[in-house]
Amino acid sequence: MTAFGKLPARSLGNNGPLIPRIGLGLMGASGTYGQPLPETEHLKFLDEAYKRGETFWDTADKYDDSESVLGKWFAQNPDKRKDIFLATKFGICTNPEAKDGMKNWMDSSPEYCRIAIEKSLKRLGLPYVDLYYVHRLDKVTPIEKTIEAMVALKQEGKIKYLGLSECSADSLRRAHAVHPISCVQVEYSVFCRDIESPQVQLLQTARELGVAIVAYSPLGNGILSGAIRSLEDVRKPGDVRGVLPWLRKGNIEKNVAVVDQLTEIAKAKGMTTAQLALGWLFAQGDDVFAIPGTSKIHRLEENLASLSFQLSEEEEQSIRQIAQYVAGGRFQALTGFAFADTPQL
């Protein structure tokens, strides 16, 4: 079994590679939560992540210049490619110049799958990626057709493992019947536990099939770090979090109070609030991974240190009880494609 990195590792699904339980989400370094890092700082940040044993890197073709910057890093560090478990994604198409409101649309067709991987590999300057996700299902293409296209890429040596993101339980089951799916990436945190819902059944289905869960936004887009106390904290240029339902007037006050209660539990254990939130995720099972995003070294170190703590069953339940008072929901953009189904063949 292939192993990546020096951090505590787990198998990514049944018979998958051993990868760090905490990955590095790279969306924020290229914008979304503020201005993107200048390229030199971005490259230096990747150097520092590597030095700390963080070798599970998660990007996507939608994340602005992320793949291109990674391509430059790999060109500067060709000997380190073997150490990095690199994930990227396709399926969300963007045209920022669109005048008809169609700035984002989904395309999980076999044709676009091949176009997208070729473009990603060119930007990355690599012959393959370790993990390739369907970022969103377009609800038009039968999932079997998408997976068949990805299997062809695997046979050609362009990808090694297959993943889905924000799929329905049925879509996962149908995809897995075509080819083993290593993991599902989905929003999962103390603030967002939709995948546990009896209606969604995604966590239950993934476990039945031996598919790992990769949790994105494990810190609730930053609110679980304790750094967001008011809307003023997310109003810098380029930060889209001001539209988060959790941060709307009437909700943010309640949610800051929730975070404050979590902070009290964290302090009693010698943890930060972010470490408690990540520790809660890891307490859900060895099949749960997290990819908190950051562009700050001290935050990266804080996140990695969460692996040193364990929560008792009583502490995990206390956190759940506090989380019942979270007001508002997850980020609304693209949620029309959350837990997406696709037509039958």
Q: What are the catalytic residues?
A: 63
Q: What phi, psi does 54 have (nearest 5°)?
A: -80, 100
CA distances from 109 to 23, 71, 86, 134, 220 (A): 28, 26, 23, 10, 31
Quickly list DSSP for 93-121.
Answer: EE-TT-SSS-SEEE---HHHHHHHHHHHH
H/E element, 333? none
User: Cα(144)–Cα(318) distance, rounded to whole angstroms?
Assistant: 41
Q: Which amino acid is at 187?
A: E
End-to-end alpha carbon distance in the chain: 35
**Phi, psi angles (nearest 5°) of residue 25:** -75, 125
Q: What is the DSSP letter of 162?
A: E
Structure tokens at 48: 């520092």
